[in-house]
Amino acid sequence: GVFLTFSDFVMRSLAATEPAGGIEAMQQINRKVFRTLFMVLLIGMAIVSPLMAAVTVLQGSGPATTWIIAAAVTYVVGTFGVTVVFNVPMNERLDRMAHDSAVAAAYWHRYVPAWSFWNSIRTLASVASAVFMLMAVVELA
């Protein structure tokens, strides 16, 4: 839900403001996110998903196993991996800039489309992972 919200309207709204306002708002969002349930769920699922896949494989294979492995790989690579490799470094770079500087404004015009692209990738990966888990449940029912 959080990723989708950013892809759907948050980033477009921030981009529609003056760069200094959008930058300052995004810096605050990025600073506050570390103290939220979002981080618990993001990291927790990166740990739990592979464990679920491993337990399923150890219990024997079947159609549900394939779906659970697909869900785990999709989440770890497409959601968590994209976050760590792409979105977080962009956020850290933005955070080091004075929100009202010309350098930050120039970076902002590159940041918004690139960050939004990778956010959309992790949104799709999250949805796909959830669908794969639902398919596993259907197989087990």
pLDDT digits (tens, 9 = 90+) for 72-127: 999 999 999 999 999 999 999 999 999 999 999 999 999 999 999 999 999 999 99
**What is the domain partition of the chain in residue ranges?**
2-140
Query: Interhelix angle for 63-73 vs 37-58, to 10°?
Result: 150
Q: pTM of the prediction?
A: 0.94
Give residue-wise pLDDT tens across range 32-84. 998 889 999 999 999 999 999 999 999 988 899 999 999 999 999 999 999 99
When computed from its CA atoms, the radius of gyration of the chain, rounded to whole angstroms, is 18
Please give the Cα distance from 94 to 28 (Å, whole number): 11
